[in-house]
């Protein structure tokens, strides 16, 4: 039995035990305090910088996925970060062996400063530099536009699970079960949601866009890199 299923069964057994009996004073206390349960969110834009120190050869090696029929003239690198802090008001049944916790989950989504690389062969005052930078800015804006959208999806799912709901457990187990649920279920979900942006990024680097960049500025790209291969970004 995997950890997620064990957690689900653990919460369910405690909840069902309470529902079978008349509502106790302890359960009433937990439900009255449940308004303090919920999830809060924040996302941060930490900015970006442009780096012109690496050659197109170095950028081609730096790119994680294979580049088909092309060279990497520019590259935008963003590493998604997820911070989840878990707290919660804990109440214990003075007449029994149960306790309840009002989960308070604080989620922060952000990218450390994003780095936009443009090959060192392209000087900032050239037409090719401006074209490559404009392409990479599309990648940058896709990352930044995606952040509030993914935040809203995650907010909806977490609110459905935690907002206004006490979670019951055996005495001494509520906080550890809550943390285990976050680690086993919610962190993988949040990270997977953050990675969905990569599909949008891949669409920007289409064969049509590769072909366009190979012909911009009246052949300036080819003359600067001295290559007969079709370049990409």
51 within a domain of the structure (yes/no): yes
230 within a domain of the structure (yes/no): no
pLDDT in tens, 109-150: 999 999 999 999 999 999 999 999 999 999 999 999 999 999
Residues 65-73, mean pLDDT to the nearest whole number: 66
Domain count, the chain: 1
Q: Could you tell me which residues are beta bridge partners of residue 170?
A: 98
Domain boundaries, position 94:
3-225
Sign for the CA dihedral angle at 170, 171, 172, 174 comes to: positive
232 within a domain of the structure (yes/no): no
Average confidence score pLDDT of the chain:
85
Lowest-confidence range among 96-100, 153-157, 224-228, 229-233? 229-233
Helices (H), strands (E): how many in the chain? 9, 7
231 within a domain of the structure (yes/no): no
Going by C-alpha positions, the residue among 203, 69, 204, 57 that lies closest to residue 137 is 204
User: CB atoms < 10 A from the CB of 54, how many?
Assistant: 17
């Amino acid at each position: 039995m995997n950890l997620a299923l064990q957690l689900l069964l653990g919460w369910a057994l405690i909840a069902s035990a309470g529902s079978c009996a008349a509502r106790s004073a302890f359960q009433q206390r937990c439900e009255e305090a449940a308004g303090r349960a919920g999830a809060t969110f924040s996302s941060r834009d930490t900015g970006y910088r442009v780096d012109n120190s690496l050659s197109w050869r170095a950028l081609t090696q730096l790119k994680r996925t294979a580049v088909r029929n092309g060279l990497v003239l520019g590259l935008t690198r963003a590493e998604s970060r997820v911070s989840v802090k878990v707290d919660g008001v804990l109440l214990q049944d003075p007449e029994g062996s149960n306790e309840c916790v009002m989960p308070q989950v604080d989620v922060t989504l952000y990218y450390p400063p994003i780095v936009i690389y443009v090959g060192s062969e392209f000087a900032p005052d050239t037409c090719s530099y401006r074209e490559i930078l404009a392409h990479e800015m599309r990648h940058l804006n896709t990352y930044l536009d995606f952040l509030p959208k993914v935040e809203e999806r995650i907010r909806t799912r977490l609110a459905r699970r935690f907002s206004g709901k006490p979670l019951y457990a055996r005495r001494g187990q509520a906080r550890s079960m809550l943390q285990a649920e976050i680690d086993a279920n919610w962190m993988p979900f949040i990270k997977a949601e953050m990675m969905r942006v990569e599909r949008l990024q891949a669409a920007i680097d289409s064969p049509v866009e590769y072909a366009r960049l190979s012909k911009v500025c009246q052949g300036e790209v080819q003359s600067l890199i001295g290559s007969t291969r079709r370049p990409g970004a």
